[in-house]
Structure 1
Amino acid sequence: MGMSVTISAATAEDAEQIIKLQYLAFQSEAELYGNYRIQPLTQSLDSLKAELASDTVLVARLGEEIVGAVRGTVDDEGTGKIAKLCVHPRLQGHGLGARLLNAVEAALSGNDATTRFRLYTGHKSESNLRLYRKAGYTQVGGRTASDGVRLVILEKEAKEATDFAVSA
């Protein structure tokens, strides 16, 4: 019988596992865009450690192994910004991304000032776009990242987060 995946807050000790997972999980995105300079692949360990100290960082664990991660923060305008959602390639397609998204929304909603959620994904990333649309996100714009990848900006109202939690 297999172990179940649990989601919890990341600790400083998780930094190396998270950065390795992030590097592995974002390889398919880099290949899709023919661009290995995307931010998740070039982020330094020190930068990740700073995020662990200041942001909401959640991890999915299968036993001791970190198999998923997501980050979020709430800005002064009440926007919960969600970033670097990643799942180990061998576990993709089993709902873990949706669970992580739901968990970070719930964590960021703990702040009564949170009015909406915003995230970015590459314009060619169909599986990501499908996940986010299913979770209630709609496209509100786009921009080109510093690495040259065209990004889609998606948002949803924070009050809609609980609706997704019930159906996920």
Structure 2
Amino acid sequence: MSETQIRIDLVDDANAGELLTLRRAAFVTEAQQYGDPNIPPLTQTLHELREDLARDDVTTIGAWEGHRLVGSVRVEIEGQKATLGRLAVAPDQQGHGIGTQLMWAVLPYLPDETKEIWVFTGKDSLQNLALYQRQGYEEQYDKSAGDLTFTYLRRILGEAQARSAH
């Protein structure tokens, strides 16, 4: 990690444009890997992103280096399940632990009744799969969406893990 301190905080509507730029930059490599420039993180409009940020069941957390947004993750809550998505780290900051920090930073934002966290990524995204597995996520199943196949992974929260985050 660089010597500059990373600050983790909620992303709000005022940061929507910067978040959209970050996601597009971070997901270009994924799109290139799959030969598909139309993956959702690259086609989402600013209006759609703002609608997503306003949802009550979605929390978006960002990592800032100074005033620059260098990472983000989206958390959707559905009952006792949280689903992480759109984990994005600026290309020049990848490999410095920001994604890992963000994955742990979601814990304090989860409702007390959350029992499990799910993540998904492209089946061929070996670096992403390895990151999730290092954090205790286990592969559950694959699901096709058009030409892409996603791998879904789950992590069961223990009582101590979920509560220590509060």
Matched, 1:118 2:112: no
Q: Distance in 2 between matches of 1:118 and 1:161?
A: 18
Matched, 1:10 2:18: no
The 1:45/1:82 distance shift into structure 2, 3 A limit, reads: same
Matched, 1:92 2:94: yes
Percent pairwise identity = 32
Unaligned runs of 5+ in 1: none
**What code does the residue aligned with 1:24 have?**
A
Which of 101, 104, 107 aligns to 2:106? It is 104
Count, aligned residues? 161
Deviations 1:91-145 (A, max 9, x none): 100110000011123322xx11211001110011111001100000001111112
- Give the C-alpha shift of residue 9 in structure 1: 0.6
Alignment match, 2:49: 48
Aligned-partner SS, 2:106:
helix
Alignment match, 1:138: 138
Alignment match, 2:62: 59
The Cα RMSD (Å) is 2.0
> 1:86, 1:97 within 8 Å by CA — same for their partners in 2?
yes
Alignment match, 2:155: 156
Following TM superposition, the consecutive aligned residue runs of length 4 or more in structure 1 with deviations greater than 6 angstroms are none
Alignment match, 2:73: 70
> 1:136, 1:160 within 8 Å by CA — same for their partners in 2?
no
Alignment match, 1:35: 36
Q: Structure 1 length as normaliser, TM-score?
A: 0.89
Deviations 1:42-72 (A, max 9, x none): 1111111112112111111111111101010
**What code does the residue aligned with 2:142 have?**
G
Unaligned runs of 5+ in 2: none
Aligned-partner SS, 2:112:
coil
Q: Structure 2 length as normaliser, TM-score?
A: 0.90
